[in-house]
């Protein structure tokens, strides 16, 4: 069965910001985060009052907030928990990936940022920010009018591993197989560039889970994201 190394994934955002994504890291002592315009993720080195002091120092006034992975957080007077999000961490099967079946999949570049934000505001709100496209490669499909109607790309990057993320399709264009084709495209890109793929899906998103399982992907861990902000 596929698995992911605990040494990398036990504190995934901390590891990412101290390895493949160190260029994004905003750090303060025992805490670090991505810039708010990239993605709303942060991490602490350890679940202590000192680390939470440092995390609080990285947060601006509301509406600034960050999500932490698998964080067992002691109470802190400067911080409050806003939400939690249970997720599955999944990986693709170790099988040959199918060849492309579409000729309308296009690489997305910084010039596509406005269209990507427009799409995600409808289909994937909250996590995609103006600089998220800098985190890795993104691909999309446009309709006959030129509107971006589906996309998928890369988000969290660790040494030797990259997350497939941002998979979304405009509600008016679902049911055409765009999402599956784009996810295969990202997985092929990652395999071609020599990194192992993984991704996260909300436990409540049964539609996406059905797609991933149909593609042969398997869950390897459960994780809970916790969103915090200054009190």
| Tens of pLDDT, residues 166-216 | 999 999 999 999 999 999 999 999 999 999 999 999 999 999 999 999 999
Residue 2 has a pLDDT of: 64
What pLDDT, on a 0 to 100 scale, did the predictor assign at position 66?
98
Q: Which domains does the chain have, with CATH numbers?
A: 6-88 (3.40.630.30), 90-220 (3.40.630.30)
- Which carries the bigger pLDDT value, residue 2 or residue 178? 178
Q: Please report which confidence band the pLDDT of residue 70 belongs to, taking 50, 70 and 90 as the band edges.
A: confident
124: pLDDT confidence band, cut at 50, 70 and 90?
confident
What is the average pLDDT score of the chain? 95
Q: Which residue has the higher pLDDT, 96 or 143?
A: 143
Residue 126 confidence (pLDDT) above 60: yes
| CA-atom Rg of the chain in angstroms | 18
- Residue 1 confidence (pLDDT): 44
What mean pLDDT do residues 31-37 have?
98
């Amino acid at each position: 069965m596929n698995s992911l190394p605990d040494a990398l994934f036990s504190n995934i955002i901390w590891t990412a910001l101290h390895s493949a994504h160190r260029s994004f890291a905003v750090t303060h002592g025992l805490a670090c985060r991505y810039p708010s315009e990239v993605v709303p993720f942060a991490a602490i080195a350890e679940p202590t009052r000192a680390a939470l002091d440092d995390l609080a120092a990285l947060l601006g006034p509301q509406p600034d907030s960050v999500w932490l992975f698998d964080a067992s957080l002691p109470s802190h007077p400067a911080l409050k928990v806003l939400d939690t999000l249970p997720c599955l961490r999944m990986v693709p099967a170790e099988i040959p990936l199918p060849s492309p079946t579409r000729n309308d999949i296009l690489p997305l570049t910084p010039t596509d940022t406005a269209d990507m934000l427009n799409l995600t505001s409808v289909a994937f709100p909250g996590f995609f920010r103006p600089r998220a496209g800098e985190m890795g490669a993104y691909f999309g499909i446009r309709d006959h009018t030129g509107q971006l109607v589906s996309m998928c790309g890369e988000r969290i990057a660790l040494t030797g591993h990259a997350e497939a993320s941002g998979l979304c399709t405009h509600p008016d264009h679902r049911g055409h197989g765009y999402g599956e084709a784009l996810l295969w495209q990202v997985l092929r890109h990652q395999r071609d560039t020599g990194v192992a793929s993984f991704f996260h899906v909300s436990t409540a998103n049964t539609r996406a889970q059905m797609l991933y399982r149909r593609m042969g992907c398997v869950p390897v861990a459960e994780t809970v994201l916790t969103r915090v902000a200054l009190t």
